[in-house]
Amino acid sequence: MAVFEKGSKVYFHQTQELAQFEVMQSKKAQKRAAAKAKKERRTLMLKARCFLNKAVVIEVEGDIEGAQQLHGKASNRRAHAATL
C-alpha cells in the first residue's frame, strides 16, 4: 500500500507485488514467443503449399524428376514446421 499526500488530501494506492509483476512479464514473453512460432509455422506451411502446387504443374508438364524434388522440398518444410 502506498500513501501519497498532496496538500490537505491523502491518497492510498494499492501497489502490486514485484513477484506478480515479474510473472505477468514472463507470461507476456511466452505469448510473444508463441505468436512468433505460430507465424513462422504458417509461413513455412505456405511455402510448402506453394512447392506442392508447383510440383503438380510440373507433373502435368511431364517433368517427373523436377516434381519429385519439389515434393521433397515441401515435405522438408512441413517437417520443419511440425518441429516448431
- The pTM of this model reads 0.49
Q: Number of helices (H) and strands (E), helices first, in the chain? A: 2, 2
Q: Give CA–CA dist 15/5, Å, rounded.
A: 16
84 residues of the chain, pLDDT tens digit each: 667 788 888 877 676 666 666 667 788 888 898 899 899 888 888 888 887 777 777 766 677 777 777 778 777 777 766 665
